[in-house]
Amino acid sequence: MRRALLSPVVPAAAAVLLAAGVSFSAEPSPGLRTVDSFAAVPAAERAAALFAEAGRVLRHPRCVNCHPATDRPLQGEAGRPHEPRVRRGPAGHGVVGMRCEACHTAANYDAVGLPGSPHWHLAPASMAWEGLSLRQICEQLKDPARNGGRTLDAVVRHMKTDPLVAWAWAPGVGRTPAPGDQAAFGALVEAWAAAGAACPAP
């Protein structure tokens, strides 16, 4: 069924991906430090250190590409503007005639290197991370006016359990996964919150 649904767009999608330089291979990412490895860090500095380690994920292309500073998503390791020229749309799912789900299904389609995950969409403009420092991202995550109205506990749950966040570690062919895995990342974010949620220095 999925093959039949995708077959009209596969040739065009393949041409776009190949033109964009998708190599259909990916290098593994190094792991993340464990929460326990921060035990010797002074308490006053521990939260910021934990967030800095989690920031290796937050600032990775797998995350930043879907948190762009403009109305257009990014793609690839270098964060090139998305081709074709799609737009965010009012709810982050694209605009009429160019909805995200027209190409991106609930799973990666590795035959042509097309990424997919349930509820594929862009983060709201208020959650843009492109071009921000790690401290700015940290401050944004703690601000309900800019984080989708989430409490800090809700931010932690989102990082630990959201399937779209999980995609960063299984991005399909041609994309380097984010460092570590979702469990290690979620543990770092949870420990950061528990330690006071301080942000790294500018």
Place of tokens 């709201």: 124
For 140-185, how does the pLDDT look when each residue is reduced to its tens digit (9 = 90+)?
999 999 999 999 999 999 999 999 999 999 999 999 999 999 999 9
Tokens of 43: 């308490």
pLDDT given for residue 3 in this prediction? 34
Whole-number pLDDT of residue 22? 42
Contacts of 123 (CB under 8 A, 6+ apart): 66, 67, 92, 129
Query: How far apart are alpha carbons 34 and 46 in whole angstroms?
Result: 13
- Quick: pLDDT tens for 2-56: 333 333 343 344 444 434 444 434 455 689 999 999 999 999 999 999 999 999 9
What would the pLDDT profile of 116-144 be if each residue is shown by its tens digit? Answer: 999 999 999 999 999 999 999 999 999 99
What is this structure's pTM?
Answer: 0.85
Q: For residue 37, what are the CA distances in angstroms to 93, 117, 156?
A: 39, 32, 20
Interhelix angle 43-58/134-141, rounded to 10 degrees, is: 100
CA-to-CA distance for 53 and 39, rounded, in angstroms? 14
